[in-house]
Amino acid sequence: MYKKLDILDEKDERLRKISVDAKLPLNKEYKKIIKDIITELTYSQIDEYAKKYDLRPGMGLAFPQLGINERIIVIVHEVEDGVFDEYVVVNPKIVSNSNEEIASEAGEGCLSVNRDIDGHVKRYARVTVEGYDEDGNMIRIRAREELSIAFQHEIDHLNGILFYDRIDKNHKFYTEDELRLI
């Protein structure tokens, strides 16, 4: 039986805390939460389920968004219609990034931010993330474009940063001449 996750709203001060490292391997309770996150993120990207369960589309969620102050992120990336790659990274760190920066042309959104916020968020076009899987095995992920943005967005959550903190108040929008928009 599917039950919607209880995602914290941006007004909740717990979202502004810096998360602590999670202990590995993850316990059964955390593995169940991860499964539930994967289900909700997947459903949110499939129109039929998104309508049925009243879900806003999202491709990532960090444990702090559920009120758990630990460094765990989950990303469900639709690589082609109805086909998803799932990423679960415990204690993730960006170990390298491209010089090139990009922004999502439509702007970023967040499942904890229930309003539209105008502006482009400058992100690295490519990042390499290292961390651990649920069982404590070291993993390394190279992400580019939209997936790179998602990793940076979710890792920000672990550091108490919301995407709109990164919008330049004096220069909210970039042109293609200033920054590659995807």
For residue 105, indicate whether it is catalytic: no
Residue 8 lies in a domain: no
Residue 5 lies in a domain: no
Residue 113 lies in a domain: yes
Average pLDDT for the chain: 97
Q: 94-145: per-residue pLDDT in tens?
A: 999 999 999 999 999 999 999 999 999 999 999 999 999 999 999 999 999 9
> In what helix (H) or strand (E) does residue 124 lie, and over which residues does it extend?
strand 123-124
Q: Which residues on adjacent β-strands are paired with residue 62?
A: 73
Give the CATH number of the domain where residue 33 resides. 3.90.45.10
The pTM (predicted TM-score) of the whole model is: 0.97
Residue 7 lies in a domain: no
Rounded Cα–Cα distance for residues 182 and 177 (Å): 13
**Catalytic-labelled residue, pool 10, 154, 176, 178:** 154
Instruction: Show the DSSP H helices in the chain as ranges.
Output: 28-44, 47-53, 145-158
Residue 131 lies in a domain: yes
| Dihedral of alpha carbons 18, 106, 147, 47, sign | positive
**Vertex 38, ends 32 and 40: CA angle to 5°?**
105
Residue 4 lies in a domain: no
For residue 86, what pLDDT is reported?
A: 98
The Cβ-side half-sphere exposure at 33, using a 13 Å CA radius, reads: 20
Counting the structural domains of the chain, the total is 1
For residue 8, what pLDDT is reported?
A: 98
Residue 55 lies in a domain: yes
Q: 32-41: per-residue pLDDT in tens?
A: 999 999 999 9
Q: Are 8 and 17 in contact (CB under 8 A)?
A: no
Specify the amino acid at residue 42.
T
Specify the amino acid at residue 87.
Y
Residue 2 lies in a domain: no
Is residue 1 predicted with pLDDT exceeding 80? no
Enclosing domain of residue 163:
13-181
What is the side-by-side order of every strand in the sheet holding 72-80?
60-62, 72-80, 83-97, 126-132, 138-144
Q: How far is CA 72 from the centre of its chain?
A: 10
Q: 49-71: per-residue pLDDT in tens?
A: 999 999 999 999 999 999 999 99
